[in-house]
């Protein structure tokens, strides 16, 4: 990767390295009484340059809300996160419901994310159909190592 000359001293540069398997010319399907399957692979590597002066790793909650997604049935919780730091950050977003009356906890599967500086991302969590009543929704954002944790809360009523 060649870092652009016009890049500001604190800017990150990134590109994608695409690797593609190309079929050999002699790989031909012979017409017989069988099925011919040709498996080819293509994948990408994200290559990036971060200046040595960039050291701020910081993600933050922008919003936590209920949502409906047109192509996905059921109730959803949308957690919007923004990278407010100046390096690419990896994190895990968790979400759990705590019933306001009984204190019963329902933890949802965590979601791993990776974000460029300045980027925002919405993470959707499927709400279990058996949850009814008033809940405190708690989202936990674990950034990089285990010591950098942020917590967001939202009161949610599920009918």
- Residue 65, strand partner residues: 78
Answer whether residue 130 is part of any domain: yes
Do residues 93 and 120 make contact, with C-beta atoms less than 8 angstroms apart?
A: no
CATH code of the domain in which 84 resides: 2.60.40.10
Sequence-distant (6+) residues with CB within 8 A of 153 are 64, 136, 137, 138, 139
Residue 122 has pLDDT above 90, yes or no: yes
For residue 130, pLDDT over 70 is answered with yes
pLDDT, tens digit (0-9, with 9 covering 90-100), for 66-80: 887 666 667 889 999
Taking 70 as the threshold, does the pLDDT of residue 34 lie above it?
no
Percentage of the chain lying above the pLDDT 90 cut: 46
Tens digit of pLDDT for each residue in 108-121?
A: 999 999 999 999 99
Instruction: Specify which of 7-16, 117-126, 141-150 reaches the highest per-range mean pLDDT.
Output: 117-126
Q: Which of 22-26, 67-71, 81-85 has the highest mean pLDDT?
A: 81-85
- Residues found in the chain: 159
For the chain, the domain total comes to: 1
pLDDT of residue 73: 67
The answer to the question of residue 92 being in a domain is yes
Task: Give the Å distances, CA to CA, from 59 to 25, 86, 99, 114, 143.
Answer: 49, 10, 27, 10, 7
Residue 54 lies in a domain: no
In a domain, 40, yes or no: no
Return the pLDDT at 13: 80
34 in a structural domain = no
Range of the domain at 83: 59-158
Asked whether residue 103 is assigned to any structural domain, the reply reads yes
CB burial of 104-121 (b: ≥16 within 10 Å; e: otherwise) equals eeeebebeebebebeeeb
**Is residue 22 included in any domain, yes or no?**
no
* pTM of structure: 0.76
Task: Answer whether 75's CB lies under 8 Å from 158's CB.
Answer: yes
Evaluate whether residue 111 is within a structural domain: yes
Higher pLDDT, 30 or 96: 96
């Amino acid at each position: 990767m060649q870092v652009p000359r016009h890049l500001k001293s604190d800017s990150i540069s990134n590109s994608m390295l695409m690797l593609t398997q190309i079929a050999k010319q002699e790989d031909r399907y012979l017409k017989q009484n069988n099925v011919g399957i040709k498996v080819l692979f293509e994948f990408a590597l994200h290559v990036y340059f971060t200046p040595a002066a960039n050291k701020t790793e910081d993600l933050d909650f922008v919003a936590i809300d209920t949502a409906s997604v047109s192509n996905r049935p059921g109730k959803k919780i949308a957690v919007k996160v923004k990278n407010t730091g100046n390096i690419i950050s990896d994190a895990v977003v968790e979400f759990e419901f705590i019933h306001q009356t009984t204190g019963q906890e329902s933890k949802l599967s965590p979601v791993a994310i990776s974000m460029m500086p300045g980027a925002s991302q919405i993470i959707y969590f499927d709400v279990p159909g058996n949850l009814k009543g008033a809940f405190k929704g708690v989202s936990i954002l674990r950034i990089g190592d285990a010591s950098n944790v942020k917590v967001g809360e939202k009161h949610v009523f599920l009918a």
